Amino acid sequence: MEKVLKSDAEWRVQLSPEEFRVLRQAGTERAYTGEYVDTKTVGVYSCRACGTELFRSDTKFDSHCGWPSFYEPSKSEAVTLIEDRSMGMARVEVRCATCDSHLGHVFHGEGYGTPTDDRYCINSVSLRLEPAG
């Protein structure tokens, strides 16, 4: 997929203030407030900014962390992983590989018993669910 490059002004026109804060400024929505935290709907989760497919519902699991959790992206090239040392800790930020929007963070080795032992902890506001059907 071709890279999506837009100015902050262009993103502000396209996104709501909350979407802009999370997707473009690496913000985080409050825990347990996102629309997809408890969603069981079968479908595809895409980037809310550019529409790139990111995750599928069959990799979503209940981590009880307050955000939607997935054990792997749809395609390995769909996301970019970046070291994040903000907030006084070492984490791995997850971004959309197409538009470079912030999605959340990925954590490894927490013992959830998923096939990858990864937890992609993703902000609902960064995603759009297209139900299967």
Spans of all domains in the chain: 8-131
Q: Which of 99, 11, 89 is nearest to 54 (CA)?
A: 99
pTM of the shown model: 0.94
Active-site residue identified among 47, 96, 99, 121: 121
* Whole-number Å distance between alpha carbons of 37 and 127: 11
User: How many Å from the N-terminal Cα to the C-terminal Cα in the chain?
Assistant: 24
Band (103; pLDDT cuts 50, 70, 90): very high
SS3 44: strand
pLDDT of residue 1 exceeding 70: no
| CATH superfamily label, 8-131 | Peptide methionine sulfoxide reductase. (2.170.150.20)
Q: What is the mean pLDDT of residues 41-67?
A: 97
Q: What is the mean pLDDT of residues 41-52?
A: 98
DSSP-assigned beta bridge partners for residue 56:
44
pLDDT of residue 94 exceeding 70: yes
Q: What is the DSSP letter of 59?
A: G
Q: Is 96 a catalytic residue?
A: no
Among 12-16, 57-61, 84-88, 93-97, the least confident range: 84-88
